[in-house]
Amino acid sequence: MVPNLRLKILSKVDVESIHEASLNILEEVGVQVPNDEVVNALKNVGCEVDWKTSTVKLPESLIVEMVKKASKSFTIYSRSGRNVTFGDGKFKVLSSGGMMNVVDPLTSDRRIATLEDTVKAVKLGDALENIDIVGALFVPQDVPLQIADVYMYATLIKHTSKPFFAWIYSVQSAEYIFKMWTTITGEAPGKKPLSLGFFEPISPLKFSPHSL
């Protein structure tokens, strides 16, 4: 990890401006949340709900309160002991993921990514000293796409001893992935997490039903 590397593009005023605009959009426009259980939970903590469109408006006060409750630092663990802590002020490098295609370095031909490509990418990330967290890099297109996330996590578990990351596509996939974690660690997934996970909206201002 590189301790003091910094890249500053936005001024403090710029950051504040983006922050204020984001709060305003979430409170005045809202986010589409196509899951009744999640919508009910948000309504119970004070959000305004439009049931016809499943749109939830989040008050600024609630957002500020939740951000304050969030941990200022957290650690992603590994089987090798090379753990990664966020919030310690040090620069981290992650070999991302999500690519559907690959360009062959020898022929320059573009083709769909396969599970073999994912395996090679994970092994490369594991071998490179400058990579702190290994991503699956490719979403294999030669497996059932509905459970491609399960294949990616299985590949990461098999081929890297570093902390790792990939997207989880559904609750059903999460159940299988958590079982894999428990099998290799002997502990519940939340106790010493091996992986980062992302929960992301899609444009414009909504979540996909399967991700909830």
What is the helix (H) or strand (E) element at residue 101, kind and residue range? strand 101-103
Count of the separate structural domains present in the chain = 2
Q: How many angstroms separate the CA atoms of 61 and 46, rounded?
A: 10
Domain that holds residue 59: 12-69
Q: Which residue has the tokens 């997207």?
A: 167
Q: How many angstroms separate the CA atoms of 167 and 198, rounded?
A: 6
CB atoms within 10 A of CB 21: 10
State the chain's mean pLDDT as an integer: 90
Report yes or no on 6 lying in a domain.
no
Say yes or no: 111 and 173 in one domain: yes
Say yes or no: 78 and 65 in one domain: no
Say yes or no: 187 and 88 in one domain: yes
Report yes or no on 212 lying in a domain.
no
Say yes or no: 65 and 111 in one domain: no
Report yes or no on 205 lying in a domain.
no
Cα Dmax for the chain:
57
The pLDDT value given to residue 45: 95
Report yes or no on 194 lying in a domain.
yes
The pLDDT value given to residue 200: 79
Q: Which residues contact 152 (CB under 8 A, 6 or more apart)?
A: 97, 118, 136, 139, 140, 166, 167
Report yes or no on 7 lying in a domain.
no
Query: Minimum mean pLDDT among 87-101, 107-121, 189-203: which range?
Result: 189-203
Structure tokens at 79: 């089987």
DSSP 8-class letter at 74: E
Q: Is the pLDDT of residue 171 over 90?
A: no
Domain boundary among 23, 42, 69: 69
Closest CA to 136 of 108, 169, 176: 169
Summarised one tens digit per residue, pLDDT across range 38-90 is 999 999 999 999 999 999 999 999 999 999 998 889 999 888 888 999 998 88
Domain boundary among 69, 91, 118: 69
CA distances from 40 to 25, 48, 195 (A): 21, 10, 29
Per the omega criterion (within 30 degrees of 0), is the bond before 144 cis?
Answer: no
